[in-house]
Structures are given as structure tokens and as C-alpha cells.
Structure 1
Amino acid sequence: MMNGLVSYLDSIRARDPAPRSRWEILLYPGVWALFFHRIAHWLFNGQMFFFARFVNHLSRWLTAIDIHPGARIGKNFFVDHGFTVIGETSLIGDNVTIYQCVTLGGSNPTNGKGGKRHPTLEDNVIIGSGAQVIGPITVGERARVGANAVVTDDVPEGATMIGLKARSTLVPAETWLREFIPYGTPCDEPCEPTGNIERIDSLEEELANLRAELDALRVERETVSKKSGTDN
């Protein structure tokens, strides 16, 4: 059990350079939220729903992280900071990282449909701060959801999703996603296809040419005006 705890704390340290020791990580709200969730989930599986909810309520009050007791969570799950909501039928794999203010939300409650209503996050997924992942969709292994993205469709394995509504940047994971990406948002590598960059360069060149022509017309007009004044 102690080895498992040490391994878990080390997995967090590998994703967060801030802590100076494992003891410091033990104070993280995400660690305590997962601890309470393990208890609440055990109670939930035992159909002790009131007590499961009570533990969930206590955890939410202490950590600002709301994980429904029914959610199933794998190994080395890390919520970096609080104000995150994880719904009842969410299924989270191993080594998943979620940043602050994320919602793993359910489908429309007014349709009266039960069953799987919340997202499935496969192994090594990263969800950036403020992202909203909604409905019974699957976020593929090693996929990244950028900050403030809204995802309502399945995410392919290794894709990076950005925007509102989120779209894939179509950057193959095997080409550069070989390390942990903080906040699920690449900063050094280009996110957009290079064709867009070429299009911007072309538009800037066209704008420069139009400005040059406008300056030439202005000079010609001033020259004609001065010449007319001299003739008079």
C-alpha cells in the first residue's frame, strides 16, 4: 500500500514541477479529492448511497472538486487545482490529468434517458483548464483537450482539440506528443496546418502591394496638383 502511494505521488511530481517533496504533494486538493472518492465509490458500489453522497459532499467542501461517487477512475489520476466537476457515469483511465474548472458533464437531462451519460477518458488523456467535455463520448488515448475547449464528439487517439466547438489540430501524436503536455495545449509546436500560415503570408504580401500602389497614387496626385498650381 505504501509503495502504491509513493508511486502515485511520484506520478504527480512527474507532471508538476512545483512541489519540493512528496509531503507537499500530500496537501494537494486533487490528492484528497481522489482519496475521498475511493471511499465514496466503495460505499456507492455497496448501495450505501446516502453515505457515499455524504463523503462526496465533505470532499467537495474541502477540496472544491466534485466527483460523483459513481464515477470510475483508474490509476494515477491527478486533478491539478480545484473547481472541477466529474459526473456519475464518467469513466477515467490511467494517468489522466485534469486542470482547474473542467466539467465532465452529462447529456441533456430532460430527455429522461439513463445509462451512460458522461464522457470516457482513456489512458494518458490531458484536459486543459476550463474545458467542457459533454455527453457519452470517448476521448481517445493520449488525446489532449486545450484550455476552454468544448468537446461534444468523440476525440481520436492522440488528437489535440481546441476551440469552441473544439476541432482537432490534426497533428499526429507519434510525431511530437512524446512527453507530458501541460494543460493539454502545445506552446512551441504549430497547432494549425501550415497551409493557413502560407495563406496569411500571402495576404500580408498582397496588403503590402496594395499599400505601395496607394502611396504611388498619392505621390502622383500631389505631383499633378503642384504642377497645376505652378502653371497657374
Structure 2
Amino acid sequence: MAVVRLNGVEQGVGNIFCIGRNYAAHVAELGNQQEEEPLVFLKPTSALTLSGQDIVLPAYSADVHHECELVLLIGKGGNDIPEVDALSHIAGLGIGLDLTARDVQSEAKKGGKPWTKAKGFRHAACVSDFVAAAAVEAGQPFTFSLEVNGTVRQRGDTSLMLFPLATIISYLSRIYGLSDGDLIYTGTPQGVAALRPGDAVRAQLDGLVTAEWTVAA
């Protein structure tokens, strides 16, 4: 079973939901259109890569991009969760990378095909340890950043999300249902770029948690 760590204790992982196009500047940098409802895709649990583990890029892509995101760990599942109650279903908050084989994704889009090969490869869902939601105010804005080889590439502010956390949780519960242990990658800000073998990657969430990975040579 795939696991993550919440305050140092292993937790089993259920589904991995990801939200696309949730920051206007990122939508613009890729030339996409803003969505009227959350754009959802899934990653398999075999894609999980914890902090400290190496990232192995897929051989079939020459353009794998980092997408740094706030990640939620659901502690209490449910269906049709109202937005007013949604934040109470969060067990933990972390920082992660939604890795994307951009060249493969672009070809899939042209052919109207699913994105799974571009989004679900091994190591495509990097994630930090989680801090307990009870220790922070989950409704407050969070800032986060990503450094590659010591240079900041992405900075995020959750107050700029097109779909805030409560909306995302409520929507996912209504359409798919949420389970204990589900992860939700909440979308990336602008600044996505390619990773290369040997890169040292460091992500941090508002001083609460930090994660580091090395891209295997």
C-alpha cells in the first residue's frame, strides 16, 4: 500500500486527485482557457515519491515539467460535502510536485486522448510529509515556493486560486466521493519548467514543511 507521513506517522493513501488550471497566470503561460468548474485528473498511487527519494524521469519524454502545488490529505471522507464543512475533512497539508511529460501531454491533446501517460508515470506525484491541519488554520492563504539548483522557479499564493480549497473538496465529494487517505493536488502557479538529470529540487510550504528530491542522472 502507498503511504505518506502525517506528523511522522504513516498513513495509507487512497485516490490521488489533481486539479488543473487553478491559477490564472499558469493558465495563461500554457495558452489554455480558464475552466467553469474544477478540471480534475487522477494519478495512480504507484506515482508517489516521498521527500528524500530520487525522481526518475520517464525515458519516453524529453520535456518533464515540475508543477509545485499545495497538497491536501483527506482525513474524513464523504459524499456531497457542503463547502461550509469542507475544510473540516482535511487531516494534513503538504507540498508536492505534479510532474508532467509536457511533450507527451501536447501530443495527447492534439489527438483528443487522455493525459494519463503524461501525468501518471512512476515518480510523477512527489510529496512532502504532512503537517496536521489541526495545527494551522486551513482556511487561511498559504504561500509556497520551488527551487531548482538553488534558484526559485515558482512562487504560489493560495489566495489566487480560481477554485479555493473548500470548493475543490465539495466538488470532488459530489462528483466522485472522497475517502479517508485521499490526496488532492490543488493546482500550480506560473513558472513551470523542465527538470534535468542531476537537478536538486526543494519545495517549501509557508515555513511549515519542506521537501527535497534529486533527479536521478
Give the TM-score normalised by the residue count of structure 2: 0.22
If each structure's strand is expressed as a fraction of its own residues, which one has the higher value?
Answer: 2
**Of the two structures, which has the highest relative contact order with CA contacts closer than 8 Å and spacing of 6 or more?**
2
The structure having more radius of gyration, on CA atoms, is 1
If each structure's helix is expressed as a fraction of its own residues, which one has the higher value?
Answer: 1
Give the TM-score normalised by the residue count of structure 1: 0.21
